[in-house]
Chain A
Amino acid sequence: MAGTLTGRLMESLLKLNNCTIRFGGLTAVSCFSMAIAKGELVGLIGPNGAGKTTVFNMVTGVYRPTEGEVLLAGERLNGLKPYAITGKGIARTFQNIRLFGSLTVFDNVRAAFNLHLKHGPIHALTRGKAFLNEEGAIEKRTLELLKIFNLERFRKAMCKSLPYGDQRRLEIVRALATEPKLLLLDEPAAGMTPTEKSNLMKLIEFVRETFDISVLLVEHDMRVVMGICHRIYVLDYGVQIAEGPPSEIRSDPRVIEAYLGEA
């Protein structure tokens, strides 16, 4: 067991080592460690206020861990700005959808290609051949992505006019356009109908396989988490109380207690 664990940590894509974050006197997350292997789909669950989103914000650079370190493929991410962390290969979606409200569906995705852009402002003015070719390539790639997720017919629509479920999917497409190695999904099933949730589960699995990426999922809906995650971390009051495959988590007394309170 110890051997396989070490083996897994060796090849882990994302690693959190004893991360603690405090806001003033409040310790939101305490000594949290986590490892996600390449291609793995990991869930992060816990009751309200357990610190799940804080972990997200720590990984994506919105907050800076007070102690501990965040590593992506062995490279330290502490203190990097959010955009730089995205540049290293971590993309995310938001709990409360944060699309670019004044842009079309097409432009929402296109804007995310900014990250790997070869041309700059000067090229946008001179409009040379290389610039036009790259813009053409981005347009093509954007449409391809939209097509994969069946959003192509909305490409000229304003993103806010999309149905709720489609907006969530568009956020995922936008995140994928940054060509991440790790995708963080923050409560993607929130507000979805049971049918939409089933579709979402298929979608996440599909994304992970098609784009060959790891996924970290924060989710309240147990059916979704238990249904697709390979491994699950459980947080309560900022402290990890359990870790393991869904079958173990399901029957772990500490987890049940955290969710149901002391019975």
Chain B
Amino acid sequence: MDKLIEVLQQLVNGVSLGSIYALIALGYTMVYGVLRFINFAHGDIYMLGAYSGFLLAPLFAHTFKFGEFDTFTPENTLFILSGAGLIMVLSMMICATIGVLIERIAYRPLRERPRLNVLITAIGVSLFLQNMTQYRLGADPKAFPQLIPVYVIEGLGNLTILTSQLAIIVATIILLIILRFVVMKTKIGLAMRALSFNPTACSIMGVNNDVVISFTFALGSALAAAAGILVSMDSPSINPLMGNLPGIKAFVAAVLGGIGNISGAALGGLIIGILETFVVAIGFPQWRDGIAFAVLIVILLFKPTGILGRVEREKV
């Protein structure tokens, strides 16, 4: 019985970690879908999301009494969630704007150039965001303000689940439902799918590709920002380099799921999260950062299209 609880426990930990990777992975996969390019700076948008929350929270700390509650009660729950939700939505909007600006300034002029040039630019953008954050806000870790009270949820027996973990999982589910609606049911979502299928045909049919691409960057960046806020609720120490590893792991998740495929990214994120948790749980904590790369190398060797990806051939 204890074993079962232990496995269940790790599964919950894995899903909450995997949700974060899934949210970031969606940005990689959507951008890859429309532009066939890996946005190397995407992990840093996640970092900027956390920093936006860090800078925004003090402005609303008084109104929403951040850090003043110890537990959720029926009376205060709605109040707390609306405060945290507001910070999250504002951060998402800020990062969406940053994402759009980056595409506009650094990537769009290179759209007809070799993909390598865009990749190098993306590395440049990534370094720039990290180091400018370091330069403006300091390289030392910052304590992220407490948006929601974090404690172990009672009444689950031996299972230890934190309110922050629950928040991550619930918020991710809500965001995924919204995303699915946007991509499948709206006109711009249809345009996104059309663009990833065939850009030329798409623009011939009267779609403004630039607008769709900007929208894709906005959407992906917003999700990454949400991940940044959510992760900071759970582990409230943020630093300018925090986007590096999760960024790469989320990329691996996107490739694992089949890059360009939205459901694949979510699935891949969960798998990587769970895998990582279990590697730690079975006694190899020092390899937790290596496992994602190992997975990446294995998929690329045996099934480069990922779990749900489709094959693309080079025309000769």
Contact = CB atoms under 8 A, between A and B. Distances in A.
Interface of A: 23, 53, 57, 62, 94
B294 to A, nearest CB: 28
Contacts of A53: 316
Contacts of B316: 53, 57, 62, 94
Interface of B: 313, 316
B308 to A, nearest CB: 16
A198 B106 CA distance: 49
Contacts of B313: 23
A57 B316 CA distance: 8
A23 B313 CA distance: 10
User: 5 shortest A-B CB distances, which residue pairs?
Assistant: A62-B316, A57-B316, A94-B316, A53-B316, A23-B313
A219 to B, nearest CB: 17
Main SS of the interface on chain A? Answer: mixed
A174 B313 CA distance: 26
A53 B313 CA distance: 14
A102 to B, nearest CB: 12
Contacts of A23: 313
B315 to A, nearest CB: 9
A142 B313 CA distance: 34
B113 to A, nearest CB: 14
5 contacts: A23-B313, A53-B316, A57-B316, A62-B316, A94-B316
A126 to B, nearest CB: 34
B117 to A, nearest CB: 15
A57 B313 CA distance: 13
A8 to B, nearest CB: 30
Nearest to B310: A24
Nearest to B313: A23
B116 to A, nearest CB: 14
Contacts of A94: 316
A82 B316 CA distance: 12
A240 to B, nearest CB: 22
A57 B314 CA distance: 12
B166 to A, nearest CB: 43
A260 to B, nearest CB: 28
A79 B103 CA distance: 43
A23 B316 CA distance: 15
A226 B7 CA distance: 74
B311 to A, nearest CB: 8
A62 B313 CA distance: 11
A223 to B, nearest CB: 26
A94 B313 CA distance: 17
A25 to B, nearest CB: 13
A57 B315 CA distance: 10
A175 to B, nearest CB: 15
Nearest to A23: B313
A226 B154 CA distance: 86
A77 to B, nearest CB: 17
Nearest to A94: B316
A166 to B, nearest CB: 23
A94 B316 CA distance: 8
A23 B312 CA distance: 11
A172 to B, nearest CB: 18
Contacts of A57: 316
Nearest to B311: A24
A106 B313 CA distance: 31
Nearest to B316: A62
B27 to A, nearest CB: 30
Nearest to A98: B316
A53 B316 CA distance: 8
B114 to A, nearest CB: 11
Nearest to A82: B316
A27 to B, nearest CB: 16
Nearest to A24: B311
Nearest to A57: B316
A64 to B, nearest CB: 13
A10 B268 CA distance: 56
Nearest to A53: B316
B197 to A, nearest CB: 16
B176 to A, nearest CB: 30
A118 to B, nearest CB: 30
A114 to B, nearest CB: 20
B29 to A, nearest CB: 23
